[in-house]
Amino acid sequence: MSISTIEQLESRISLTEEEKAWKEGPLSLPLLITDYYMDLIDASDENDPLRRQVVPSSRENSEAVLEDPDPLAELPNSITERLIHRYESRAAFLATDICAQYCRHCFRRRFTGNMQGPATKEETSLAAEYLRKNTQITELLLTGGDPLTLSDSALSEMVGILRQARPDLVIRICTRMVAVQPSRITDSLINVFKAFKTAPFYLMVQFNHPRELTEEAVSACAKFIDAGIPAMNQSVLLRGVNDSVPVLQELCNKLVFARIKPYYLFQGDLVSGTSSFRVPLEKGLEIEKELRRCLSGLAMPVYAADLPQGGGKVPLCGSYIEGFENGIWTFRTLEGEKRSYPDPQ
């Protein structure tokens, strides 16, 4: 049974004054924490990094300067109520607004948790028709909400409609379920995706802290991987959660060991009510610099920001180019030394 009220939450942990003062409102999300995830939280530590991700606070009831409910401009780029086409080659389909657990740093809070439920067959068919006509789209993000909150049969029907229109479309399964309720990942769920002999699926997960990579979570991801569905991780850089080199170094190395590629480390979006989670950009760049020194290329994620007003994703990293003169480039190494690289004549 999941925790969905403050009273239930207080029976498990002692709330701080900021946590007690939280009120669900226009800027906030519902309270919902799975029992599985709650058991991972250290109840004696009010600064526990897992607790910080899921226990609401009054800080999310206020809007900081330049924050926006839709900072990525998804609404003006929506083709239908459920289909977003913001990048030329990629689109996102909002399978549902429901999640198994609501993360307090969620960037799509203008949609998530509004209890609209799964997309209807008609909404899915409208999206499929658009995808059929727009062949420049090569990848579809099946997202939300969390698509894995759908039943196996509902998910099979939805994917079937999309696949019938575009069997050549790579589909990314965007989910946090493996981290918050790994028991959902059953053999029958995996068989839903294995049944489609079409373009590949990719599993896009979000682990933000190494303690989330439990034996159960790793086993859940392994079911996808063993079925031929590669797994990639998209972390968010979160203040008080993972904004340190040792934590991210451990997380990324554990991900690689679990056959999950660290893909992105996102700077926090300018979403209304999330300012307390955002890490100063200067600190983020210093973390990126140090991670690049201590992680392998396989374990190194791309530190990136999704720019406001629909500006798109851009990588955030310091330049190692010092200058160019007489056909010779000068570089700075990760240790700060200089090296020369001649252009071909």
What are the catalytic residues? 86-87, 90, 99, 103, 106, 108, 269, 306, 313
Contact call for residues 272 and 68 (beta carbons, < 8 A) = yes
Do strands 312-315 and 170-174 pair parallel, antiparallel, or not at all (unpaired)? unpaired
- Residues 277 and 104: their CA atoms lie apart, in Å, by 9
- Residues 318 and 337: their CA atoms lie apart, in Å, by 15
Instruction: Give the amino acid at 30.
Output: P
- Residues 23 and 9: their CA atoms lie apart, in Å, by 14
- Residues 92 and 128: their CA atoms lie apart, in Å, by 12
Q: Which residues pair with 264 in a beta bridge?
A: 234, 302
- Residues 15 and 38: their CA atoms lie apart, in Å, by 14
Secondary element (H or E) of residue 128: helix 121-133
- Residues 332 and 325: their CA atoms lie apart, in Å, by 15
User: Which among 208, 270, 201, 194 has a CA at the least distance from the CA of 230?
Assistant: 201
Cβ atoms within 10 Å of 313's Cβ, excluding its own: 14
